[in-house]
Amino acid sequence: MDKRALSGIPAWKRGLLVGILGLAAVGAAAGFRENMEETQSRGIVEETPEEERRAAEKLPETGKEPAETKKIALTFDDGPHKIYTERLLDGLKERGVKATFFLLGSNIEGKEEIVKRMSEEGHLIGNHTYYHVDITKLEPEEACREILDTSEQITDITGQPVEYVRPPFGNWDKDLECNVTMIPIFWTVDTLDWTTGNADQIVQKVVSTVEENDIILMHDSYDSTVEAALRIIDLLQAEGYEFVTADELILE
């Protein structure tokens, strides 16, 4: 306040007026501090757009997206087997894993319910010829008959067409024309499980060499293979691998 405006006012009144004004100023400052403290205690803090985005997505401060799972495929040839295939299916179901089975036509008769179960539980079923023959050594008509007869058996059971084939020994004639869809699927990791009954050896071979997008070759005709396959699943799932059917890898 201008001192000149107070010059005509008695000294005692000037003192009283100054005191009142001082108290008012102190009260206003105290109220401002109280409001600030209440706001902070309630956690009302304005976030930047970037902080809001991170909070919503629960991303780390680095802003990196969560890593994708590493996909691999387990494939089994030569089935179905009357004992070991069902044991394998039990273990796959327990672990929520889908696999790929390449069936021999000559092994299907009498095991139709096993093939039906494979289909109903979401596994991919492929063709491994009828008698496990090297189709590159057959006349085209005979080679096609090996494939067609097996596919017809599978379709009669599952109601689904068979589009994928794994040629025995990996020998495929790319010029073979049988008037049906035949997409060959090979492998990147061969367990050689048919050469040993040692499950530990099979497990070690896979877990020490497997990489993302690998297709693992096994045979559901051996007790040691079933044991090894389920142990492999447990170990690799713990490392962040996801097991998918083989078509998912070759069609990506």
**Residues belonging to the active site:** 77, 219
> Taking Cα atoms as reference points, which of 17, 21, 24 lies closest to residue 6?
17
Integer Cα distance of 84 and 221 in angstroms? 6
Work out the burial of residue 250: count CB atoms within 10 Å of its CB; fewer than 13 is exposed, 13-18 middle, 19 or more buried: middle
- The DSSP annotation for 69-121 comes to PEEEEEEEEEE--TTHHHHHHHHHHHHT---EEEE-GGGTTT-HHHHHHHHHT
Integer Cα distance of 104 and 166 in angstroms? 10
Integer Cα distance of 156 and 232 in angstroms? 33
